[in-house]
Amino acid sequence: MAYKTINVSPETYEKLLLYKHAGMSFDDVINKMMNLMPEEEFYRYVLEEHRRRMRKIRGGEIISAEDLDNALKSV
DSSP 37-55: S-HHHHHHHHHHHHHHHHH
Number of domains in the chain: 1
Does pTM top 0.85 for this prediction? no
Domain range holding 40?
Answer: 22-73
Residue 50 falls inside a structural domain: yes
Judge whether 1 lies within some domain.
no
How far is the C-alpha of 37 from the C-alpha of 30, rounded, in Å? 12
Judge whether 38 lies within some domain: yes
Secondary structure class of 21 (helix, strand, coil): coil
**pLDDT single digits (tens) 2-61:** 999 999 999 999 999 999 999 999 999 999 999 999 999 999 999 999 998 888 878 888
